[in-house]
Each structure stands twice: as C-alpha cells, then as structure tokens.
Amino acid sequence: MDIIIAEKPNVARKIASIFKNIKYIKYKNIGYFRSDNIAVISGVGHVYQLDQIDRNWRYPVFNISWKPAYQVDRDLIHTKPYIELAEMLRENANRIIVATDFDIEGSLIGYNIARYALGRDRDILRMKFSSITYSELNRSWNNLIDFDYQNAYAGEARHIVDWYYGINLSRFLMASLRAVKNTGLDILSIGRVQAPSLNLLIQRDDDINRFIPKDIFSVIAIVDDVEFSNDRRFDSKDDADRYISNLSSKGNVELIINEERRYIYPPDLMTLQERAYYIYKIPPNKTLSLAQSLYEKGMISYPRTSSQRYPPDLNIRKILESLNIHKSYIQKIISKDKLIPTSGKKTDPAHPAIYPTGISAEITTDEAKIYDIIVRTFLATLSDPMILEIREYRLDVGDIFTTKSIVIKDQGYLEIFPYTKIDTQEVSIDPGLYEVNYRIRKSKTKPPSRYNQVSILSKLEELKLGTKATRAAIIQTLFSRGYIYQEKGKIYVTELGRVIKNVLYNYVPDLFSESFTRALEEELEKVQEGEQDYRIVINKARDQLEKIFKELEGKEEEIGRELLKNLGSKIAKK
C-alpha cells in the first residue's frame, strides 16, 4: 500500500480528492482516506518534538531526541492518534510519499512521521506542489520525485540548534533569578535569533534617546512664487548667508520632461506582510497565519516564499475566469490577446510568488482582507504600468536648484490597486531668465525612526537573521515575553528587555552579535543546499554554546543579583 503523508487533515482531504474509489475512514477521534492500494494520512503540524532524554532540569544539556509531542507537552495530547494511525499502517506500507509543505519545516514533519511512525528513513518519495488545486496535486502525483532529505536535515539542524540555545540559556536565566529570589516572573527566555533581534531594537531605542536635535539651514530660491531647493545644508545662518552672496540675482530655468513607468510585481511573503500591515494594520505574524489558512483552503499558492515570479506554466486565463471578485476589472484584463505578468528580481527555488488559484471557499473577514490584497496584486501584475510625467525644473544661479512637478498620466494598475502612494504635485513656470529671490529655511535634524512590526522584519531580512517563516514569530515572542511593547504602531523596549540584554551582554556579547548569528544561518542554508553536513553544523553550534557556558559557569547568583538590582520591583510594560 502507498502511504501519503500530508501536513494537516484539510490538506489530506484535498490530496485524497484526486483519487478514485477512496473513502474516509474514522480512526479514534480522527480520520484518514483509504482505497485498496492508497492511504492518505496527516499530521497536525509537528507531531514529534525535541526533548532531553533524561528528566533532570540542568544546563547545558545536549542529550536530546525526538519524542511524540504528546509525551513532551500534555497540551499536545491531540497529536497522539495521528502517530498511532501511522504506526497501525506501518506493516502494510509499500511506498511512502511525503506530501507536506515543500520547505524545511514541512519536510521535517513528513520525515519524522516516515522514520519514527512508519519505520522508513530511506527510499522515501515526494509530492512537490505550490498550491493544492486538483490539477497541481494530480500533476505532482504523476511526477513523484525523490524525497528532499536536505530540507529535512536543515530543518532538523535548525530545531536542534534552536533547542540548544533557547532551552539552555532560558534555564540559566531562570536559575539565576531563583538563586537570589523568587521574582514571580513566569518565563525569562532568550534565543539564538531573539537576542540579536532584541539588540537591534535596543540600539534603535538608544540612538533615538541619545539624539540631540541640531539647527540646520537650507537656502530656498524663489522664482515667481515657485520654490527651488538643493541638497546643501549649513550649520549656521551666517554660512547660509555667505552661500547666497555667491549666487546670482538672476537665473535661467530649464525644463526636463521624463516619463516613468511603475509596475507592481508578484508578491513574496515579506511584500504581502508589508501590504497587509500598511493597508489594514494586520500584524505580520497574523498575516502569515491567515495566508496559511487560505492556502490550506486551496485559495492561494504556498505563502512562505521569497519569489517575485509566477511559475512559467501558470494558467493565468483559467484563474481569471474562476475568480469571483473584481469581475468587471477582470473582463478588461481578460480581453487582452496576451496575458504577460510582471516579474520581480527575487526568486525562490522551492516556491513561486503568491497567487490566487481561482478556488472559492468560506473565509473569515480577516482572511478576506488578505485574499483581496493577493487578488488585487495578481490583477495589477497583469495590468498596464502606471505612467508618471515628471517635469524637473532646473534653476542655474551659479549653483543648481531644482523643483519637480509629478503628474499621473495613466493610472494603469492603480485602478485595481489604489494603495500605491504617489506624492503628486504640479508646478507651472515657463523656461527662461528670471529674477531670483532667496530665503533661508531653518529646521532641525530628526532622530532615526522607530521600528514598527514590518520595518523590523525588513531589517532582519536584510541582515539574514531568521527565515521568512520565523521572523514574525520571533518578534511576537519578544512581545509575549514582555521585552518590547507597541504604542501608536511603534516598537519600544521595556525595562525588562533592556536589563536582559545589558546583563547578559556583559558576559556573552557574541550572543547579541548579528555576525555571530548570521554565520550560523549561512551554515544552515548550506545544509539545505547540500553543501554542508547537518551534523557538523549541530556540533559547531554545540561547541559555541559550551564556550558561552564556560563564561557563565558558577555566575548564576552574580547575574541573578544584577538582574534583580536592575529590575527592582517594577513590572515590565506590556
């Protein structure tokens, strides 16, 4: 019997729909799909978790193994029948086909079920798909590939390394506080990516708090009530006056006209999270959850992607004909002879950009918001570009001053995607020679902007800290631990977050280093690409952590007192 492993029950149902004569079979309080020669089973996400082999609460601990999740956490008892079902089918297993999400998490979920519940860690096959439409699943079934072991190994290495850091360092923090006093704090935690992420937020906080505004002066040239400016800035009014004294009282205005075409590109996860936040104020972590739900309902392609390109064989016309929103605009698009979408620069070897499949399902209000962004973006990528007319007026008075007029000549994709902000302005002045007046404008330097939930994700992506699937969850963990809080959309660091960083930094500064964490991320990427043995990466991480604990050895009380002294009796603002 062929056993197909899906990631979740609703995806198992979609996969089962491509087979004839397959029935739904109840097993305990769950179910699966079965015919004479095929069984489609599933997990509910991870049904195995890492845990230390013995039960002693100590640190550092490295003797860990995968165990059924319900044995590690009583709240995960619902995972038990999924494992027992797979174990029951083990004797009849012929081919084992993993059909979980094609990424490091999905591959690890499938691999763990295959090797621990079904007793097979070799000769596994793979269904690879980026949407759960009938046609895509059927194509995937008819084109099985070898299992992507490197994805699974990379996922396992990441889980083990994160367990090493997260559990051991968090235990040390709690032990340090307990060594001096029972504080009543539920959990203090710090992790491999949490630490540099928190440090980035603290550095920005410090930059803002240390910032002292300074007066700066700029010169404005005025011609017929039109203001021209340039990038020169002066520390004093006297310097600005001296600059003006060298400028001519007459100047020639020249007009340069350019057209600029602007396009919308297919969205990767980061772009979707940005748009959802700025349009609807939906936090990035929630956007990912909503997009995942839409994917599991078959309505969109896989959301955890870095690509800005649709698959080349995507049947765009069929999708347009199936969509049930924005029908009038779709009719304009579909009347074109050729449907050629835009393409961005970013690619992903595993999955294409996010697109709607044309399938309909019952969805929540928030899911509808995310879906609408995806559909509007899809239609915008098939639309004409927005065309701007940019009129640059250049005033020559011995130095060049400019002003611009920006007008939307053709709305293009703006008709369906009106969220692009364009600072349009109109200036009317004829080219020629004019009398010029000057004015000095006084302003103040501005501090750096505070991060919001999207801009910090962009920074983590830029620094290659975490993954596209984990960055939003890392920031959410910092919120839930009380290390940061949000006010009017901006992120602030709490006293607790600052104390955790400052105290630990005195002993293990590498923990908060971007380069230290990024180096490990790069090693994990090499595992995924088949360029590095995952066991070498795990051992290297263990060696690094052992060095950290040598620095911390015997310092629980010392660090505990320092934490307590800095925290005082205040409760972190949440």
The residues carrying an active-site annotation are 302
Contact between 239 and 215 (Cβ < 8 Å):
no
Task: Provide the 8-state DSSP code for 78.
Answer: G
Cα end-to-end distance, the chain, whole Å? 53
Burial class, 54, CB count within 10 angstroms (exposed 0-12 / middle 13-18 / buried 19+): exposed
Cα separation of 566 and 380, whole Å?
Answer: 53
For residue 111, give the H/E element and its range: helix 104-112
Those residues whose C-beta lies under 8 Å from the C-beta of residue 161, and which sit 6 or more positions away, are 192, 520, 524, 537, 538, 541
Contact between 173 and 500 (Cβ < 8 Å):
yes
Q: Is the peptide bond before 60 cis (omega within 30 degrees of 0)?
A: yes
Cα separation of 96 and 119, whole Å?
Answer: 10
Instruction: Locate 355 and state its tokens.
Output: 């697109």
Instruction: Locate 384 and state its tokens.
Output: 């004409």
Instruction: Locate 138 and state its tokens.
Output: 């059927």
Instruction: Locate 47 and state its tokens.
Output: 């049904």
Contact between 125 and 144 (Cβ < 8 Å):
yes
State how beta strands 484-487 and 490-493 pair.
antiparallel
